Structure 1
Amino acid sequence: MNFCLFIIDIQNGFITPNTNHVPQRVKSLLEQNIFEHVIFTRFINTPNSPYVKYLNWHDLTSQVEQNIVAEIEPFAQVIFDKTIYTACNEETLDFLKRNDIQKVFICGLDTDSCVLKTAIDFFENNIIPYVLEYYSASTGGDKFHQASLLVLSQMIGVNNIVTEPLDRQNLNKYLQLV
């Protein structure tokens, strides 16, 4: 059974005082080279998006905001662009199927939106999601991050929330689970 790391939207426009610790943590994970497949997502907000129309949220519309954070950008060999919360779409599902990937380790920004929605959508597509708490955060702060982890523990299973930093030994523990 193959597995991959899904890095959700670690982009300049999502880096705030509540999230600025995430890129360095993710970089340390990537430097361990324990994932054969690493997929990055990049959120692109458009003028006619529901985020602009209904939430009056105009961030992530410029190229600078949309860029993957510089310290992890060199690791971004596979990038899927998206215009909605979820990264679980036909393109990513095809990639997972082609590579026989059945377990996905998810980290990134924001835990309370794109990470949460992606994890639930993978779960509903019969792909086992593990959310990496240590490598994720929410621009809204820790209360949103923790609330989303609580919801995810109910929706995808408490054992699918990884709370510790990941290394090869910890990863193997999750790979052996059904």
Structure 2
Amino acid sequence: MGKALLVIDMQEGFRHKASEAIIDKIAELVKGFDGKVVFTLFVDEPGSMFDTELHWPKFQSKDMQKLLKELEPVAKGKLEAEHKGYTVLTDGLSRMLKENGIDTVYLSGVYTDVCVVKATMDLFDKGFKTKVVADACASLHGDNNHKYAIDSLKHIIGRGNVIETSEVN
């Protein structure tokens, strides 16, 4: 079967020293990955829960929705998948993975403690073998949150499924 690499929400609206710190790792992963690569992009709309409950309309701006400019060269020709909630595993993305015979999904990007954890559990629940590339993930909530999320993920999907970029095959 096949494999896919999801690069989660590496967007201008999430530009932060933590997201900038993993750009090179993600670029390395994308360049060397032998499988489908999908960049997920968070998009918000007026009246959403992010807008009404969190008072966070930032991602209603097209400029904030754009992929980080440093990743544009490696993203050229790769798939993009928009999502409007915490999960990146929309019906469309799930269908695309299945139609392409994907059974193993590698995760990278931001927020380790939010979208990466959510995507990991959703993929696992849908029957995908899921691997989190720890050194290609970051939390904008701080390094401790990233570390706690990685620790938790080792219990959620198994220690052997939380790996480093050097272990991606």
TM-score, normalised relative to structure 1: 0.88
| 1:18-29 equivalences in 2 (<5 Å) | 18-29=18-29
Name the residue aligned to 2:37: 38
| 1:71-150 equivalences in 2 (<5 Å) | 71-76=70-75, 77-150=78-151
Aligned partner of residue 55 in structure 1, secondary structure: coil
Name the residue aligned to 1:152: 153
Amino acid at match of 2:115: C
Structure 2: runs of 5+ lacking an equivalent: none
* Kept in 2: contact 1:5–1:35 (CA 8 A): no
Aligned partner of residue 53 in structure 2, secondary structure: helix
Query: Mean Cα displacement is larger for which, 145-154 or 94-103?
Result: 145-154
Query: Mean Cα displacement is larger for which, 120-129 or 18-27?
Result: 18-27
* Kept in 2: contact 1:44–1:82 (CA 8 A): yes
Equivalent residues, number: 167
Structure 1: runs of 5+ lacking an equivalent: 173-178
Q: Which whole-Å deviations, capped at 9, do the CAs of 1:15-37 have from their partners, x for residues lacking one?
A: 112221122221122222x2221
Runs of 4+ more than 4 Å apart? none
Aligned partner of residue 60 in structure 2, secondary structure: coil
Structure having the higher helix fraction is 2
Amino acid at match of 1:39: V
Mapped partners of 1:137, 1:57: distance in 2: 20
Amino acid at match of 1:44: V
Instruction: State the shift of 1:83 in Å.
Output: 0.5
Amino acid at match of 1:2: G
Identical aligned pairs, as a percentage?
A: 29
Q: Which whole-Å deviations, capped at 9, do the CAs of 1:35-61 have from their partners, x for residues lacking one?
A: 221011000122212122222223222
* Kept in 2: contact 1:149–1:161 (CA 8 A): yes
Q: Which whole-Å deviations, capped at 9, do the CAs of 1:124-147 have from their partners, x for residues lacking one?
A: 000011011111101111111112
Mapped partners of 2:132, 2:39: distance in 1: 15
Q: Which whole-Å deviations, capped at 9, do the CAs of 1:99-137 have from their partners, x for residues lacking one?
A: 110000000011111111011000000001101111110
Amino acid at match of 1:116: V
Amino acid at match of 1:65: M
1:66 pairs with 2:65: yes
Query: Mean Cα displacement is larger for which, 1-10 or 52-61?
Result: 52-61
